[in-house]
Structure 1
């Protein structure tokens, strides 16, 4: 496999009826375009260590050329070396984890060769987010691929994340998994009443607006419970993040107005309160 040292050896022997032990050197050509290497014969044998950088051209033709000496003529031998793709591992992590609805999450995949293989894998990694959205493929740079993804719901959390390395000429495919937890997004609720102050005879409209807290995004849904002191609360459905209700008549005095957002699948509850001042109307 690429990056794994290979020992190439040659044995030189006299052809019958000759005898003795050849001396001199052997020149090895690994067959991958790298320069030949010459090694001395010791007791009729010579060897070198060579590392193939890739699989393109495998199986490689190895040639060993004995240069001859004063008593023995030159000779040549050949063999082949098959270099397969190196195995890999893929690890994937997400951050931040946990995250909120609408918050950007960074997914990072790291692909490495498995020993005794060596080198840096190239190619692409395909990310699956586990939320039903389409997969996304990103290029490796220095063995690392990174993308950003935004989860729009917490239904299904924790989501299974998969990063699949697609392999290249020298490195085989592999995959890694992780999970991403998506929590409800925090919200803020604001309330206003109009008119304020008012007369006891005035209809007073209470409006509530519910918004996600950054880095969360989106529009909360569900209902808001609107209430004024000594009056029956009204549960109103949010429309584009806003709900309103009218209360009439109201008792005179300083009244408390409350707006309680009841939350939904993706957004957490929140509340707000203000003061409504009511003065007597004309007799």
Structure 2
């Protein structure tokens, strides 16, 4: 008497589907006998697909194996039943849709307030919004009063910083430009840039002089740290003899 392996079929459920990048997804594959065979198949299921997925799990007493992962990408996957002494192997292809996750962008400015010409560091950090997870990649575009307009690549932690001396009072905006996994987002922060202190140095040539001699009086205005740059505007000279 000969008893051959019975055929089997694999059915797959994906929850949730669609999902977003980094979301925890549970994929379950159930193997059942094809008539006239009967009984519950045993053995293993191998899940394979995009991104290098290759995981083999044992079937439980009900003929089911479940994989929980947060690293799925969109595409066609396969749940392959590897067979046992009683049931032939079979394959269950399934489609997974993984959409971009939402992101949020937060901005920090140091120091704030600052003074004109002071070196200021503006940073933006992009994070995933649940149920998405992971670290966004790509670029941030910083804009702000005073002519700030610079695009910087995010580092491995999802942060980008720019150092500038051109800020003026107003609102700094950081726009995350998105990547294949995360949607764009925008963050902003109000900044205050106060007047910097200045100092005036005066030279008189010649000095001493004699009555009626032509004398040149010069005044130079410079910024006091942490301010920088070249002051503009006017100087008023006053002095004995009616200088005004």
What TM bracket, shorter-length normalisation? 0.7 to 0.9
In the alignment, structure 1 residue 121 sits paired with structure 2 residue 136: yes
- Rg comparison, structure with higher value: 1
CA contact (8 A) 1:52 1:83 kept: no
CA contact (8 A) 2:47 2:53 kept: no
What TM-score results when the alignment is normalised by the length of structure 1?
0.68
Q: Which residue of 2 aligns with 1:209?
A: 220
CA contact (8 A) 1:192 1:208 kept: yes
Instruction: Give the paired residue count.
Output: 224
State which of 144, 151, 176 in structure 1 corresponds to 2:187. Answer: 176
Partner secondary structure for residue 135 of structure 1: strand
Deviation at 1:177, TM superposition (A): 0.7
Query: C-alpha separation between the residues in 2 aligned to 1:220 and 1:67?
Result: 79
Within a 5 Å distance, the mapping from 1:51-200 to structure 2 comes to 51-52=70-71, 55=73, 58=74, 60-131=75-146, 133=147, 135-142=149-156, 143-151=158-166, 154=168, 157=169, 159-193=170-204
In the alignment, structure 1 residue 3 sits paired with structure 2 residue 3: no
What TM-score results when the alignment is normalised by the length of structure 2?
0.77
Deviation at 1:94, TM superposition (A): 1.8
Query: C-alpha separation between the residues in 1 aligned to 2:202 and 2:85?
Result: 105
Contiguous gaps of at least 5 residues in structure 1: 235-283
27-36 or 160-169: bigger deviation: 27-36
Are the structure 2 counterparts of residues 47 and 151 from structure 1 closer, same or farther at C-alpha, using a change threshold of 3 Å? same
Deviation at 1:136, TM superposition (A): 1.1
Across the aligned residues of Structure 1 and Structure 2, the Cα RMSD in angstroms comes to 2.7
Deviation at 1:171, TM superposition (A): 2.1
CA contact (8 A) 1:190 1:210 kept: yes
CA contact (8 A) 2:136 2:179 kept: yes
CA contact (8 A) 1:30 1:36 kept: no
Deviation at 1:184, TM superposition (A): 1.0
Deviation at 1:63, TM superposition (A): 1.6
Query: C-alpha separation between the residues in 2 aligned to 1:23 and 1:86?
Result: 37
CA contact (8 A) 2:80 2:92 kept: yes
Deviation at 1:33, TM superposition (A): 2.3
Contiguous gaps of at least 5 residues in structure 2: 1-19
